[in-house]
A and B are shown apart, each in its own frame.
Chain A
Amino acid sequence: MPELPLLLEILLKIGMVVSPLLLAVAYATYAERKVIGYIQVRIGPNRVGPRGWLQPIADAVKLLTKEIILPRQANRYLFLLAPVLALVPALAVWAVIPFSDGWVIADINAALLYVLALSSLGVYGIILAGWASNSKYALLGAMRSAAQMVSYEIAMGFALVGVLMAAGSLHLGQIVSAQQGGIWHWYWLPLLPLFVVYFIAGVAETNRAPFDVPEGESEIVAGFHVEYSGMAFALFFLAEYANMILIAALTALLFLGGWLSPFEGLLPEAAFALPVIGWLLGPGIHWLLLKTAFFLFVFFWLRATFPRYRYDQLMRLGWKVLIPVTLVWIVVIGLAIGFNLGPWFS
Chain B
Amino acid sequence: MTLELAVFYGFAAVLVLASLLMITVRNPVHAALSLVAAFFAAAVLWVLLEAEFLGIVLVLVYVGAVMVLFLFVVMTLDLNVSQLREGFVRYLPIGGLVALVMGAGMIWVLTRETVFERTTPLRAGADYNNTLAIGQVLYTEYVYPFEIAAVILLVAVIAAITLTLDPRRRRTSKSIDPAEAVKVRAKDRIKMVDLRQK
A residues sitting closer than 8 Å to B (CB atoms) are 1-3, 6-7, 78, 108-110, 113-114, 116-118, 120-121, 123-124, 127-128, 131, 139, 143, 146-147, 149-150, 153, 170, 312, 316
Q: Compute how far the CA of A316 lies from the CA of B177 in the bound complex, rounded to whole angstroms.
A: 10
Q: Compute how far the CA of A124 lies from the CA of B39 in the bound complex, rounded to whole angstroms.
A: 14
Q: Does B1 have its Cβ within 8 Å of any Cβ on chain A?
A: yes
Chain A at the B interface: SS class: helix
- B60's partner among A1, A7, A120, A150 (CB-CB below 8 A) is A120
When the two chains form their complex, are residues A108 and B64 in contact, meaning their CB atoms are under 8 A apart?
no
Chain A residues within an 8 Å CB radius of B36: 124
Chain B residues within an 8 Å CB radius of A7: 3
Q: Compute how far the CA of A153 lies from the CA of B71 in the bound complex, rounded to whole angstroms.
A: 17
- How far is the CB of A87 from the nearest CB of chain B, in Å? 16
State whether A127 and B75 are in contact (beta carbons under 8 Å apart), knowing that A113-B53, A146-B68 are contacts in the complex: yes
- How far is the CB of B85 from the nearest CB of chain A, in Å? 20
Chain A residues within an 8 Å CB radius of B176: 312
A124-B68, A131-B75 known; 15 new pairs, CB 8 Å cut-off, are: A109-B130, A110-B131, A113-B56, A114-B56, A116-B64, A117-B57, A117-B60, A118-B59, A121-B64, A124-B36, A127-B72, A128-B33, A149-B68, A150-B65, A153-B64
Chain B residues within an 8 Å CB radius of A153: 64-65
Chain A residues within an 8 Å CB radius of B71: 124, 127, 146
Residue in B closest to A116 when the chains form the complex, CB atoms: B60
Name 22 interchain pairs, CB-CB below 8 A, sorted by A: A78-B29, A78-B33, A108-B52, A109-B131, A113-B56, A113-B60, A117-B56, A117-B59, A118-B59, A120-B60, A120-B65, A121-B59, A121-B63, A121-B64, A127-B72, A131-B29, A143-B72, A147-B72, A149-B68, A150-B69, A170-B131, A312-B175
Chain B residues within an 8 Å CB radius of A146: 68, 71-72
- How far is the CB of A9 from the nearest CB of chain B, in Å? 13
- A113's partner among B6, B57, B65, B129 (CB-CB below 8 A) is B57
Give the number of residues in B that approach A within 8 Å (Cβ atoms): 29
Chain A residues within an 8 Å CB radius of B69: 150
Chain A residues within an 8 Å CB radius of B59: 117-118, 120-121
Residue in A closest to B128 when the chains form the complex, CB atoms: A109
Chain B residues within an 8 Å CB radius of A2: 2
Q: Does B76 have its Cβ within 8 Å of any Cβ on chain A?
A: yes
Residue in A closest to B71 when the chains form the complex, CB atoms: A127
State whether A1 and B57 are in contact (beta carbons under 8 Å apart), knowing that A109-B129, A150-B69 are contacts in the complex: no
Chain B residues within an 8 Å CB radius of A312: 175-176
What are the interface flags for B171-186 relative to A under an 8 Å C-beta threshold, 1 for contact and 0 otherwise? 0000110100000000
Q: Compute how far the CA of A124 lies from the CA of B76 in the bound complex, rounded to whole angstroms.
A: 15
Q: Compute how far the CA of A153 lies from the CA of B65 in the bound complex, rounded to whole angstroms.
A: 9
